[in-house]
């Protein structure tokens, strides 16, 4: 598992590359239950993934960089790897699902990596990336199951502690587990008393089941693919993240599709923060699942990304936040 020194090393590598996102107070959330947002949607690539991708690629030696890197992703990790690779002068090959959101696919393509399209299953993406690494010698840059990458994501937690020393609870989105692993480790290694709570969609609540049973759970692809939170459509935690989740995460709660979209709308209209569905899950938990969260005064919700499809955002803003635009039955 990662140590505090690994997160500190990542902070040094990321200085001047990743934006140190501020803590934004939530309007109306004062008194006995204050809430701050950590808006990772403000990163150059629109999501936290830049931290881990750059930390991983910049830590490679000259021979590894010369071989190039390969990654698989539905969007945000793809864009982050392409961005980091171009900044470091490294060839990048990205495996993406053919049904990836058009905005994320186009943004990744604009950074000039080689893109390989496959089916919608995350397992298929992983297998194709492994095949390309074996065939061409590319260095894999996994989306979450890698300790160097986890340490990069952990810089989010380190910044929260530095900017809000009195923080008591931190809410973090959960997909493959890289973000929550890094954030939880960075926080718990320094402040074991701070509660770290993961949040994921009910349709993809494998991490909650894994934490509560102590066994790595895997959800079927056809169920996971139904959530509007495309960045959280992962069937199971990675092995390294699962180890970190068991060691450092206090609990994981699940939110509904309607709650996610309502939170998106409120973030945009009241806080002036544009969050993709995956990034809005933490605010959804704060709004609708307070009975499952610690009763603490100083709280932070990580907004993991803001790369939302324009059509979906328009539908959410035009509606009442209680419908699920574009979701398959």
**304 in catalytic set:** yes
Distance of CA 88 to the CA centre of its chain: 22
Round to whole Å and give the CA distance between 266 and 303: 13
Helix axes 239-248, 206-213, angle to 10 degrees: 60
Classified as helix, coil or strand, 60 is coil
User: Catalytic: which of 38, 49, 56, 104?
Assistant: 49
In 3D, which of 53, 64, 79 has the Cα closest to residue 143? 53
38 - beta bridge partners?
302
What is the b/e burial string over 245-280, where b = at least 16 CB atoms within 10 angstroms of the residue's CB?
beebbeebbbbbbbbbbbbbbbbbeebebbbbbbbb
Residue 236 annotated to the active site: no
The residues, any chain, with a CB within 8 Å of residue 258's CB and separated by 6 or more, are 321, 322, 323, 324
Q: Are strands 24-25 and 34-39 parallel, antiparallel or unpaired?
A: antiparallel
What ranges make up the beta strands (E) of the chain?
24-25, 34-39, 69-72, 92-97, 114-118, 139-140, 169-173, 195-201, 251-255, 298-303
Length of the chain: 329
In 191-272, alpha helices (H): 206-213, 221-224, 239-248, 257-266
Catalytic residues: 49, 304
């Amino acid at each position: 598992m990662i140590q505090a020194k690994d997160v500190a090393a990542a902070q040094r590598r990321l200085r001047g590359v990743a934006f140190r996102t501020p803590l934004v107070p939530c309007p109306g959330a004062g008194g006995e239950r204050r809430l701050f947002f950590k808006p990772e949607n403000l990163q150059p690539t629109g999501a936290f993934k830049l931290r881990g991708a750059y930390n991983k690629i910049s830590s490679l030696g000259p021979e590894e960089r010369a071989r190039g890197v390969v990654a698989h992703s539905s969007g945000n990790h793809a864009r982050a790897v392409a961005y980091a690779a171009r900044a470091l002068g490294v060839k990048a090959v990205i495996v993406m699902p053919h049904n990836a959101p058009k905005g994320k696919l186009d943004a990744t393509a604009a950074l000039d990596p080689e893109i390989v399209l496959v089916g919608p299953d995350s397992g298929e993406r992983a297998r194709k990336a492994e095949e390309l690494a074996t065939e061409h010698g590319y260095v894999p840059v996994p989306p979450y199951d890698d300790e160097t990458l986890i340490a990069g994501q952990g810089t989010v937690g380190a910044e929260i502690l530095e900017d809000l020393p009195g923080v008591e609870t931190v809410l973090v989105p959960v997909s493959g587990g890289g973000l929550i692993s890094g954030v939880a480790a960075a926080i718990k290694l320094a402040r074991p008393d701070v509660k770290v709570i993961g949040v994921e969609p009910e349709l993809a609540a494998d991490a909650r089941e894994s934490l509560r049973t102590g066994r790595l759970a895997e959800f079927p692809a056809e169920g996971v693919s139904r959530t509007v939170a495309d960045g959280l459509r992962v069937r199971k935690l990675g092995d390294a993240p699962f180890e970190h989740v068991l060691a450092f995460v206090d609990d994981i709660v699940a939110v509904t599709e309607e709650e996610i979209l309502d939170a998106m709308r409120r973030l945009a209209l009241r806080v002036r923060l544009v969050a993709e569905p995956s990034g809005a899950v933490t605010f959804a938990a704060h709004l609708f699942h307070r009975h499952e969260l610690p009763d603490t005064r100083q709280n932070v919700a990580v907004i993991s990304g803001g790369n939302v499809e324009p059509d979906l955002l328009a539908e959410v803003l035009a509606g009442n936040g209680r419908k699920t635009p574009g979701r398959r039955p």
